[in-house]
Structure formats: C-alpha cells, structure tokens
Amino acid sequence: MSLVVLRDVVIRLGERAVLDGAALAIAAGQRIGLVGRNGAGKSTLLRAIAGEIALDEGEIRRAAGLRVGAVAQQAPGGEVSLVETVLAIDAERLALLAEAEMAPAERLSVIHDRLRAIAADTAPARAASILAGLGFGQAMQRQPVSDFSGGWRMRVALARALFAEPDLLLLDEPTNHLDLEATLWLEGWLARFPGAALVVSHDQGLLNRAVNAIACLERGKISLTPGGFSEFVRIRTERAMQEARGAERAAAARAHMQAFVDRFRYKASKARQAQSRLKALAKMPAISVAVEETPARFDFPQAPPLPPPMLRLEEVAAGYDGRPVLARLSLAIDPDDRIALLGANGNGKSTFAKLLAGRIAPLSGRIRRALKLRAGYFAQHQEEELDGAQSPIALMARALPRATPVAVRAQLARFGLDAKCAEISVAHLSGGERARLLLALTTGEAPQLLILDEPTNHLDIDARDALVRALADFPGAVVLITHDPHLVGLIAERLWLVADGTVRPFEGDLEDYRAMLAERARATDGQNGKRREGRREERRGRAQARAALAPLQRRAREVEALIARLAAEREAARGWLEDPAIYAPERAAEVVEGTRQLAEIERAMAAAEADWLKALEALEATE
C-alpha cells in the first residue's frame, strides 16, 4: 500500500526547475534515504510532501487519514519542561486526560478504554526514553525548554517528531544537531521504526543501517535503488559502466554508418543503401551517458614537519570563570596522529578542542607546544560569526594579509570555491559553500595540527568524501569531533573518550564503543523497565480503584438527590399541615391523608439517610 505517490511533480524556484517531472511512491513501512548534491532540491521535496509548498505541475496523492510527522523548522520554547513539551505533541492524550477530570461516571469507562488503546500510561516513559537517547539526562528533562540553546532545542523538536510515531516521518538532516552517541541511537531507533520514513542525510552510516532504499535526486528527477547507501553506490557504478560501454558501442555503430553514408551517398550504385543507412542513423537514439559532475576536491596546504610530540599536556585543567570542566589531562599528540574524540555533548569535547587550539588558557597544569606549531581550528559556530555582507575573497584576504591576490584565490580554489563563489556575499552562499569557506580560512596558514569540530555539517556526500581524501593526504595531526561514525571509521587511528570530567584513551575501535553504549543502554532500560513496571502497577491499581469507586460514587449521588427531593416534599407536607384552615370538620379526611403521607415521607427519608451512610462507609473502605 502506497502512502504517498508523486507523479510528474514540477516545482520552480525562480526560473530554475528544482523538481522537473519527479516521480516517487512511498509504501507503508518503507524507510528511504534521500540523497543528492547540495541545492538539488531535497528539502523542497520534503516540504512538498508535507503540503507546505504548492506544485507548479503534477500531483502528490496521499492516503486517506495519513499522519505525516516532521521536525518543526522553529525550535520549541517556553517554560514547560522537556518531557511535557514532547508529550504535548499527542493532542488526543491531553484532551482525554483533561476530559477525565470532569467527565460523569458513565463517560469515564469510555475515556479509560481509549487511553488504554493509545498506551497513554506509557507515554511519559516513551518520551523520557527518546529524550535520553538524544542526550538529555533525567535532570535536563525536568528543565524548561527556555534553558537550552538553539541546537539543543532542535533536538527537542526531533524528539517530538519521533514521539508522535506518524505513518510517514520526514527528516531533513536529523543528525546535524546530534553528537556521535545520539546519532548511533537514532540509527537504531529508525531501523526499528514500524512506519514509513523519508530521510535526507549525508551520513553514510545512517544510510547503510537505518534505511532500506535510497532515492537519488538529480537534475530534477528521482531514481530509487533498493538497499542501503553502499548498495546504491555499487548499483550506480555498475549502471554507469554499462551505459558507458553501451555509449561506446552506439558511437562506433553511428560512426560506421556515417562513414558509409559519407562515402557512398552520391554514388548511384550505393545510393539506395546509403539512403537506408541515413534513415537508420537518424533513428538511432542520442548517446546519453550518466556523466557525473566534476567531483569535489579539497587540498590542504603542506606545512613544514615538526618533531614529536608537537603538543603535550601535563596535569592540565580547563574550564571557564575559574571552574574546571576537564581536569587531570596528561596526553600527547604526535605529528602523524589521527584522533577522534568520543563522548556525549556537554562532556567537554569542544572545551578540549579550544584548549588544544589555544582559544582558552589552562586553569592549571602545563601545555608544551613545539616551536613554530600552527593549529587550525574549525568550529561549526564560526559560521554564525561570518560577516554576511563580505565576500569570501575579502574574508580570506583579511585572514592572509601578506598573501597576494593570486594566492588568496588559490586558497579558496583548494576547497572548490570558484571565481563566482569567491566574489558574491557570504549571505548568498549555501550551507555547504560556507563550510568550505571555513575550511579554507582554517587552513590558510598551513597548520601542522588540524582541530575539526563537526566539519561535515552542511557538506554533501561528495564533499565529505573529498574531505576524507584531503585528510588522508594531510601530513600533520588531526583531532576530530564529529557525529558521523563513517568519518570516524575512515579517519581516526586513535580514540579518546571525553567523560567523567577528563579525557583518556579509549581501548578499542568504534564498534567496541558502539557495543559499550548498547550495553549501557540495556542496563539503563532494565532499571527503567523495573521502575516503569512499578509505576504501571501503581497506575493499574489506581485505575481499578477508580473503577470500583465509580458505582459507589454514583449510588451516593443518587441517594443524595433522593434525600434532597424527600426533604423538599417533607417541608411542603409540614407547611400544609400547619395551616389552621384545613382543620375544619368537613376536611377531617384530608388531614388524615396528609398525616399519612408525611409519615411515609419520614420513613423514606430515614431509609435514604441509612442508604447514604452505607454508601459513604463503602466509599471510605474502598478508598
């Protein structure tokens, strides 16, 4: 069953057709990774499926009642806690809980049946589990959203989308605001997600482990390949080779025909054959080879070598305002080291990177640096500090005041920023182009030590591969912080774990680290499971108590209403009997009947009061 079907979709941005006859069908339970170069239109496609933008041509058919979930572009805010912010996405649950507070007894059973059907009692535990997987500890989950930065708030927006468990989940670069640990968790969550998903990502690890098909968007068209990203690359490579061979054969046949035509078309004896082949030549399809665009190339400038160790930390503590974030740092970096930093966000990875780069001074201890050591520091937040009104060539000239204009342009060209990109304002560059500019600025002075804090955000898969190749050729040392496990696996030769207020070597590879995180998650889930089971039993007991109380409460209300009615009748009867006019001899029979009715009311009143007392005693005993 198809949840969404796109037919001949055309969307134009200005004069350019971003989608030009695009077609795609998304089946129930299908998880598709959407890939393509920066600017190909991937985000536009997601917005079109979500119904946020109109089509210029074509149609998008959605299954009746389809629930589509996406990460909100605007990060959530306010004074509500993280858990409550996530729970608020389930409007039905909130409405039912609010109704249960005021509903009459006969409606309560219907409400509780529906709450059980939507697993409302497990909702807080599910929300907490998702937040924990995305890096929010228990204490953080109780804090208001307003206490967190924009990146952390986007994690909350992602948690809301995951918690909603829609029929179709649309995710646009979901790992951009995550650390490696949260990225690994998200891979597992998506792999288990029972619904359909369309995920825009350049993370090859996620595309290999969390999806079962790859949709490639290029030149406005979509092609679908089963399997993960590695299978997509294999099939695409084989197809390109087959097309190239076919093109060669077609070109040879065309050339042979053309030679015959040119040779014999004006000879009477061969004219008929020449005309026949001329017609056949005209009918031959045009040669169409899937020629790839020029691949991205990065080239780090070469720096003079340094003797080992180029940097040594001796019992160093680092932090801010006199408060240490990290302590007991005794480590050394050699010229050929390739080091990846592991550890959850908030543990101090960026603080450690700033310490190595000389952006912050140690609070205590000593750092020994090799003479003439130059460190290049790339941090994603630097993108926000770029002057949007300046051009890349102006920013690079300012960073390299002694360089000639030719050298300035050459440094930009090392990272694929051509003359056109070099001269427009930074505000008009794409995210990938700004990331390339930052890499060019970082390496402008030919550093021997590269410190890269999330360098791949906004880079497409081709640019990430170019970065890998450039780092492989780089003769100096690299310290890498990234959420991309594929990049860690290709670059890192040593792993350092940032945890428990210090940095220490991690004995093992990335798979060992993944196994450690999984074991820790199982242990946590076991503890949480026991707590959840205890809370579930408690809630079940409360529900049974409410069910037992409902008829007693109903009976008590019925008896109270009867007593009120009898009291009104008794007052009316007494008032009638107190009227002297009714005691005339001729009305003696009426007085007897009135007295009898009052006695009956009194007896009914006594019985009702006794029933009411019994109902109260039963309620107290049940409570």
CB atoms within 10 A of CB 86: 29
> Do the beta carbons of residue 217 and residue 41 sit within 8 Å?
yes
Which helix H or strand E contains 93, and what residues bound it? helix 91-102
pLDDT at 99: 85
What's the rounded mean pLDDT across residues 250-260? Answer: 66
pLDDT at 501: 94
**Backbone phi and psi for residue 165, each to the nearest 5 degrees, phi listed first:** 45, 65
Alpha carbon distance 56, 16 (integer Å) = 12
Going from the C-alpha of 503 to that of each of 318, 411, 512, the distances in angstroms are 11, 34, 18
Nearest alpha carbon to residue 26 among 68, 85, 74:
68
pLDDT at 254: 64
Pairing of strands 449-453, 477-481: parallel
Any residues with CB less than 8 A from the CB of 462 and at least 6 apart, and which? 37, 295, 296
Alpha carbon distance 365, 359 (integer Å) = 16
pLDDT at 352: 95
Alpha carbon distance 327, 323 (integer Å) = 10
User: DSSP letter at 74?
Assistant: S
Which class for 540: exposed (0-12), middle (13-18), buried (19 or more C-beta within 10 A)? exposed
pLDDT at 24: 94
> Do the beta carbons of residue 41 and residue 218 sit within 8 Å?
no
The token pair at 362 is 């140690």
- Helices first, then strands: H and E counts in the chain: 21, 19
What's the rounded mean pLDDT across residues 420-442? Answer: 86
State the distance between the two ends of the chain, measured CA to CA, in whole angstroms: 51
Q: Which of 369-378, 406-415, 550-559 has the lowest mean pLDDT?
A: 550-559
What's the rounded mean pLDDT across residues 92-108? Answer: 83
Residue-wise DSSP of 464-519? HHHHHHHHHH--SEEEEE-S-HHHHHHH-SEEEEEETTEEEE-SS-HHHHHHHHHH
The token pair at 221 is 């068209």
pLDDT at 378: 92
Beta bridge partners of 379: 453
> Do the beta carbons of residue 149 and residue 177 sit within 8 Å?
no
What's the rounded mean pLDDT across residues 158-170? Answer: 91
The answer, yes or no, to whether residue 271 has pLDDT greater than 60, is no
pLDDT at 288: 42
18: confidence class by pLDDT, cuts 50, 70, 90: confident
What's the rounded mean pLDDT across residues 588-614? Answer: 82
Going from the C-alpha of 223 to that of each of 23, 201, 232, 237, the distances in angstroms are 8, 16, 10, 14
What's the rounded mean pLDDT across residues 444-450? Answer: 93
pLDDT at 287: 45
pLDDT per residue as tens digits for the range 281-327: 566 555 444 334 555 788 888 888 898 999 999 999 999 999 999 99
Give residue 312's region: left, alpha or beta (phi > 0; psi -120 to 50): beta
Annotation: CATH topology of 311-507: Rossmann fold (3.40.50)
User: DSSP letter at 65?
Assistant: T
Q: Which of 364-378, 439-453, 513-527 has the lowest mean pLDDT?
A: 513-527
Q: Which of 48-52, 77-81, 225-229, 535-539 has the lowest mean pLDDT?
A: 535-539
User: DSSP letter at 151?
Assistant: H
pLDDT at 351: 93
Give the rounded percent of residues in the chain with a pLDDT score beyond 70: 86
Rounded to the nearest integer, the mean pLDDT of the chain is: 83
What's the rounded mean pLDDT across residues 500-520? Answer: 87
What's the rounded mean pLDDT across residues 157-186? Answer: 89
pLDDT at 622: 64
The answer, yes or no, to whether residue 88 has pLDDT greater than 50, is yes
Q: What is the pTM of this model?
A: 0.68
pLDDT at 237: 77
Going from the C-alpha of 388 to that of each of 385, 430, 433, 621, the distances in angstroms are 9, 12, 13, 72
The token pair at 341 is 């930093």
The answer, yes or no, to whether residue 61 has pLDDT greater than 90, is yes
pLDDT per residue as tens digits for the range 192-251: 999 999 999 888 888 988 999 999 998 899 999 999 888 888 888 787 777 667 667 767
pLDDT at 101: 82
What's the rounded mean pLDDT across residues 82-93? Answer: 90
Residue whose pair of structure tokens reads 């640019």 in the numeric block: 463
Residue-wise DSSP of 313-346? EEEEEEEETTEEEEEEE--EE-TT-EEEEE--TT
3-state secondary structure of 10: strand
The answer, yes or no, to whether residue 334 has pLDDT greater than 90, is yes
pLDDT at 116: 86
Strand arrangement of the beta sheet that strand 375-379 belongs to? 375-379, 449-453, 477-481, 338-342, 494-499, 502-505
Q: Which of 279-288, 321-330, 405-414, 469-478 has the lowest mean pLDDT?
A: 279-288
Q: What is the 3-state secondary structure (H, E, C) of 196-228?
A: EEEEECCCHHHHHHCCCEEEEEECCEEEEEECC
Pairing of strands 332-333, 311-320: antiparallel
Count, residues in the chain:
623
Q: DSSP H helical segments within 373-479, as ranges?
A: 382-385, 392-399, 405-413, 419-423, 431-442, 461-473
Which helix H or strand E contains 109, and what residues bound it? helix 105-117
pLDDT at 598: 82
**Backbone phi and psi for residue 597, each to the nearest 5 degrees, phi listed first:** -60, -40
| Rounded (10°) angle between helices 405-413 and 392-399 | 110
